[in-house]
Structure 1
Amino acid sequence: MFRTTARLIEGIIDMMLLVTLTVMVVSICWQVFGRYVLNHAPGWTEETARFLMAWITMLGSAMVIRRDGHVAVTFVADALPPAPRAVIAWVRDALILTMSGALVWYGWQFARIGARRESAALEISMFWPHLAIPVGGALIALLLALRRAGLAAGEGDAP
């Protein structure tokens, strides 16, 4: 059950990442084409790429959490017996949940403050680019919880 739910969420995030990455690449290519071929770079392309990079970073971080794929130095934990290694993993996950909670809380406050301003080129509320922070934090917490619940239910470590 946990694995199925996590895979459904991952599928949605994968699609969002595909769309945002595609739009970002097209935006950057148009920026380069405009600058070097047309001698006039459109202003919206750089801002679009910057905002999408924030979304890609936060959504991608959540995806990697599920697969336990973030960069880590594990030589000390790997040298320990299974019981202390499990304790270290739980402490690590508790710290990640704490930090993702901070991302949600403070990111939401930041997005609300940003709602008062408009971006220079796109003229959209800065709420939308800043919303990547709390959404990413919530997804990190959710996918980590699903991973932990799946492990506890005996679903193994595979996504």
Structure 2
Amino acid sequence: MIKTLEVVLVAAFAALTLDTLWGVFSRYVLGNQSRWTEELAVYLLVWISLLGAGLAYGEKAHLGVDYFVGKMDPAAQRVAAIAIELLVASFAGFALVYGGFTLVSKTLEAKQVSPALGLQVGYAYLAVPISGVFFLTFCIENLVELFTGQASPRKGAPVTDA
């Protein structure tokens, strides 16, 4: 799942790069910037940010969580890691998945369309619940590893009983 997410993010970033280059080229060389380039760049940046945050969390590379948990003694690391995973899962489930699907469905019902791309905005907002599903999946995986002793709270290293 992580490899698939990485491929999607690389493709989205490549599309963002090409879109931005085309926007600059069409503006400064052709003298008339394409209308859709800026709007597409914004939507791609949102998707990359949300999915990238999920990927970073899945790889246990989330800087804030890793930093604070790493400062504790090993016994407290496990307790803190479980509490953090439960908090992240709660936020991901309620705000990202539930709130995101509510946002998407209400926006699709309203038939709100982006001005330049002509895309229903609800589809652009799908990044919110999709990233929430990734966060939840990684939280469940991390909790299973923590409860079974397969990994420590930091960077997936083996747990040592100290």
Report what 1:19 is aligned to.
Answer: 11
Report what 1:111 is aligned to.
Answer: 104
Give, in angstroms, the shift of residue 120 of structure 1: 0.5
How many angstroms apart in 2 are the aligned matches of 1:24 and 1:76? 33
Question: Runs of 5+ in structure 2 lacking a partner?
Answer: 158-162
Report what 1:38 is aligned to.
Answer: 30
How many angstroms apart in 2 are the aligned matches of 1:28 and 1:80? 43
How many angstroms apart in 2 are the aligned matches of 1:127 and 1:50? 14
Report what 1:123 is aligned to.
Answer: 118
AA paired with 1:107? G
Q: Match for 1:150 among 133, 142, 145?
A: 145
How many angstroms apart in 2 are the aligned matches of 1:134 and 1:79? 32
How many angstroms apart in 1 are the aligned matches of 2:45 and 2:68? 34
Report what 1:4 is aligned to.
Answer: none
Report what 1:83 is aligned to.
Answer: 75
Report what 1:3 is aligned to.
Answer: none
SS of aligned partner of 1:72:
helix
Q: Match for 1:95 among 87, 91, 95?
A: 87
Fraction of identical pairs, as percent: 27
Q: Deviations over 1:105-159 (max 9, x none)?
A: 111111112212111011011111100001001111102212332344454316x
How many angstroms apart in 1 are the aligned matches of 2:132 and 2:116? 27
Answer 1 or 2: higher relative contact order, Cα 8 Å, separation at least 6.
1
SS of aligned partner of 2:63:
coil
TM (norm. structure 2) is 0.84
Task: Classify 1:75/1:36 alpha carbon distance in 2 versus 1 (closer, same or farther; 3 Å).
Answer: closer
AA paired with 2:105? R
Report what 1:68 is aligned to.
Answer: 60
SS of aligned partner of 1:39:
coil
Number of residue-to-residue matches in the alignment: 150
Task: Classify 1:73/1:127 alpha carbon distance in 2 versus 1 (closer, same or farther; 3 Å).
Answer: closer
Question: Runs of 5+ in structure 1 lacking a partner?
Answer: 1-8
How many angstroms apart in 2 are the aligned matches of 1:10 and 1:83? 29
Q: Deviations over 1:20-65 (max 9, x none)?
A: 1111110000000011111100011111111111111111111111
Task: Classify 1:73/1:22 alpha carbon distance in 2 versus 1 (closer, same or farther; 3 Å).
Answer: closer
